[in-house]
Structures are given as structure tokens and as C-alpha cells.
Amino acid sequence: MKINVFYDDIKYRIRNVKKVKELVIKVIRNEGKIPGDLNFILTGDLNIRKINREFLKHDNFTDVIAFDYGIREIVSGEIYISKDTVKQNSINYKVSFKEELLRVIIHGTLHLCGYRDKTVKEKEFMHSLEDSWICKYNEW
């Protein structure tokens, strides 16, 4: 198991990255799964849109895209995060950038654990899980 964080053409760096990685492991284990190799790639809007177009056939910006490479109970994959969209969303939702970034890290991890957010009910459930994990993270 290896969790990596890469920065693609951005200057921002996650503070306390070790604690964030521990959170990711806890989220995965809480789902009864095994942490595998995970790569989190922080990038900008232009790169995320390019990835979205090429792989998902969506021509728009997004905050997070997860590619699942897991096998059975092992959670592995790549999670691309747009720093630009996360920043804009933090302003729109009136939360700190740190909280919104943590939310999308958790969100991408939950996708790799099998959660979907196509329906309103699924979105609400994922959002409640994200809220719960953010609270736990802040209590440590």
C-alpha cells in the first residue's frame, strides 16, 4: 500500500499531508476494504477539463475525477483534483479551502470504495459521509 500526492503545474502544497493520508486509510478501512496504491494528483482547471473530455467525454470543469484500479476489496486508483474548482467551490459554499479540499479527497476515496452520486439520494448520502469524516478529522 502506498498513498502518493502529486502536484501538476500548481504551487499549492497540502499541509499535514501525513494526517490526510491517515484519513484516507481510515475511510477505506471503515468501508471494510483494504487500502492499496492510491495517487492523488492536484492540478488546475485546464488539465482536469482535458482529462474529463478525454476519458469521460464530458466537456466541463469539475472538482474531482476518480479512476478505479482496485481489485475486489483492495482500493486502488488515481484521484485528480482541480485546485481551481476547489477554490471556487470553497467561496461558493462559504467554507475554507482546506475543508473543501478535504471534502473532495474524501469524495474521491468514497467513489473508489464503490459509492456513486448519480441520484439526489446518493449525493446526499455521500455528502453526509463527507461531513462525518471532516468532523472526525478536525477532532484529531
pLDDT tens per residue across span 73-90: 999 999 999 999 999 999
99-124 confidence digits (pLDDT tens): 999 999 999 999 999 999 999 999 99
Q: Are the C-beta atoms of residues 21 and 3 closer than 8 Å to each other?
A: yes
User: Whole-model pTM?
Assistant: 0.95
pLDDT of residue 16: 94
Domains of the chain: 3-139 (3.40.390.30)
Which are the contacts of 137, defined by CB distance < 8 A and separation ≥ 6? 19, 23, 102
Better pLDDT: 57 or 121: 121
pLDDT of residue 106: 98
**pLDDT category, 60, cuts 50, 70, 90?**
confident
pLDDT of residue 57: 83
Using CA atoms, how far apart are residues 51 and 80, in angstroms rounded to an integer? 9
Mean pLDDT of all residues belonging to the chain: 96
**pLDDT category, 4, cuts 50, 70, 90?**
very high
**Residue 56 confidence (pLDDT) above 90:** no
